[in-house]
Structure 1
């Protein structure tokens, strides 16, 4: 860490930063092709349900009953669930960067993410995110989701870190804007190199 850096805590999104998105429109399109579903109908039902689902107020089984299995299908919920989970892939360079920043700079690492419970838990365990993340402020656990400012305030309270000592890495522009409105310095993540450069400007850098 550069001398004089005041950053003590790193907030992170999961989907689009550490891992691929868990269940986005691309994944749903692949599912529609694989299981021969009507994509527009599935997306309509998804959008009616997703907020409740990601806020932890529906189980995965209940979500799938509403979005996919509201009528007979020639495949099982277990087969569909396995396909859903298999869409998650890691971004190894980003995971390694955060691990190295934590070790070198002594940062507290906090995930602030919109994810549903079963998928969130699967991703945490499969990619060993709990090996370097101190707290998971996931929408399914705290029952509030981005862009609500309350999820960021909750993260600050649990981390016990003033906003001025936090840097947030996020790939959704609106969520960056919301965090910055609370005084949280933020990095709009588009690629590894530009994120490294922006972090370095905040005094957070590690040797390659």
Structure 2
């Protein structure tokens, strides 16, 4: 069965799609080596605290005091924070792709992301995400966290698009599956080339279209 609709909105994750993950297991392992921390102890404390941090219920300093600075260290908290921030790297091809699609198709772009406030704000401004993202539905801002279905409904309410008009680019299959339950189509991001091909399959061709396509119907496979 084929349905005809028009794509007006992209939901996009940050970590693993637009940028590297903000504070993933590899970054934590590197930090443990750099600062000579017991990695297992830090991981245990990380898992106890980090979800609460991503929900915006504690600050980054509170998280670090529990996960790292629960005992005297020979380095400063600020040095560790700087290391955390420096772990973030851009994916230039993906940033360019989303920016081009926004300009060509006059799309609304909304980030739907699980990130703690300080890391999220640093990444938004460091990599100039605010230049092309219209709305940030970040877990620490809205106190909801994927896979909670309410964060997707909140994102829909904020952008004021119907689910059938939305494409969601995400690198975690379970989040894609949850969004699909409320009618949001998803692209499981594996790499730039794969996502580009998927977008073209949805009728979003970054190299030939412009805003006039909004007067046309884009064919999607239901």
| Distance across 2 between alignment mates of 1:79 and 1:204 | 43
Residue 125 of structure 2: aligned partner: 125
Structure 1 residues 102-128: Cα deviation after superposition (integer angstroms, max 9, x where no partner): 000010000000000000000000000
Residue 175 of structure 1: aligned partner: 175
Residue 47 of structure 1: aligned partner: 47
Residue 207 of structure 1: aligned partner: 207
Deviation at residue 60 of structure 1 after TM alignment: 0.6
**Cα contact 1:5–1:202 (8 A) shared by 2:** no
Deviation at residue 5 of structure 1 after TM alignment: 5.2
Residue 37 of structure 2: aligned partner: 37
Structure 1 residues 82-141: Cα deviation after superposition (integer angstroms, max 9, x where no partner): 000000000000000000000000100000000000000000000000000000000000
**1:26 equivalenced with 2:36 (yes/no):** no
Structure 1 residues 126-164: Cα deviation after superposition (integer angstroms, max 9, x where no partner): 000000000000000000100000000000000001110
RMSD after superposition: 0.9
Residue 156 of structure 1: aligned partner: 156
Structure 1 residues 3-46: Cα deviation after superposition (integer angstroms, max 9, x where no partner): x6511000000000000000010100000000011111101101
Q: 5+ unaligned residues in a row in structure 2: which ranges? A: 209-222
**Cα contact 2:5–2:164 (8 A) shared by 1:** no
Deviation at residue 197 of structure 1 after TM alignment: 0.8
| Distance across 2 between alignment mates of 1:201 and 1:153 | 25
Moved over 2 A (4+): none
Residue 60 of structure 1: aligned partner: 60
Q: 5+ unaligned residues in a row in structure 1: which ranges? A: none
Residue 212 of structure 2: aligned partner: none
| Distance across 1 between alignment mates of 2:205 and 2:197 | 8
**1:17 equivalenced with 2:17 (yes/no):** yes
Query: TM-score if structure 1 supplies the norm length?
Result: 0.97
| Distance across 2 between alignment mates of 1:146 and 1:13 | 11
Query: TM-score if structure 2 supplies the norm length?
Result: 0.91
Deviation at residue 203 of structure 1 after TM alignment: 1.1
Residue 195 of structure 1: aligned partner: 195
Residue 86 of structure 1: aligned partner: 86
